[in-house]
Each structure stands twice: as C-alpha cells, then as structure tokens.
Amino acid sequence: MREDATEPGSKLLRAWQLAVLRFAVTREDDDRMHALGVAGEIDRLGGAAGDAFHFFRRTTAELCAAISGRGADQDGVVRRFLAQIDHVRLRRAVDAAIAKDRAKDCTPPSLAAGRIKPSPDLWRGLPSRRATGT
C-alpha cells in the first residue's frame, strides 16, 4: 500500500529518503548525521516507550555504511533501500549517486588503446611545408 504524499508520516519518510540521497552524493559526516536525525524523528513517531523502536536509525546506519563502502552485504542493503522507494525519480537519483562511486572503482577502457595508429605512408605524395614557402 502506497502512502499519500500529503500525510505527515509520508512527508517525513520522503525527507529521510532525501537525506540519505544527500549523504550518497556528498559522503559528508554532517549529512550522515542529518539522515540519522531524521531517522530518529521517524522512530519517535513509532510511539514505542523509550529507545525501543530504532528501525530507521539502524537502517540508516547500515545504509550509510554500505554507501561508504563499509559494512556487510553492501549491495543487498542498497538494493533493499532502492526497492522501498516509491518515487521513480528519487530511486533513480539515489541509484545514480551510489553507482557514481562504484564506477570510480572500475577503470574505464582507455580511449587511446582503441585508436588506429597512422600509417607511415600517410603523408606520401603531399608537398612538404618547406617547399611551399617561396
């Protein structure tokens, strides 16, 4: 069941997803702390006594670790988070931000390696530059 975007809980959930996106883009500790703060607000809405409900804080910590390249089952954590995002554009943005760093780990093929080397006979038959200046 998809929540209506106008409900307060849904707005807070979207704010959490956007906070995770921001961390995925910047990888700054301030943005990680902001995402954890939003997760804490959502956990407090759960109504559990004290600190009993901490699903979003735990999930955010696992997600931030996975995005940073630390933690166990990084791909699984990221895939589960992406699968839970209903908004297509947001899901694509998060996926692109996370894939951006993973693409840095792979070395792209060299463009120069695919070029054809010029033949030594390339300039045969043309007048030399020195001969034209009379």
Angle at 12 between CA 10 and CA 17, to 5 degrees: 95
Q: Tell me the mean pLDDT in the region 28-42.
A: 94
Which of 13-22, 90-99, 116-125 is the least confident region?
116-125
Q: Which two structure tokens, joined as six digits, stand for 56?
A: 């979003």
8-state DSSP, 15: H
Domain positions in the chain: 8-105
Backbone CA torsion sign across 59, 77, 11, 18: positive
The top-scoring range by mean pLDDT among 8-12, 48-52, 59-63, 110-114 is 59-63
Least Cα distance to 22 among 94, 102, 119, 129 occurs for 94
CB–CB of 65/71 below 8 Å?
Answer: yes
Query: How far is it, in rounded angstroms, from Cα 84 to Cα 20?
Result: 13
What is the per-residue pLDDT across 79-117, written as a single tens digit (0 to 9) for each? Answer: 999 999 999 999 999 999 988 655 554 455 555 556 666
Q: What is the pLDDT of residue 2?
A: 47
Query: How far is it, in rounded angstroms, from Cα 53 to Cα 40?
Result: 9
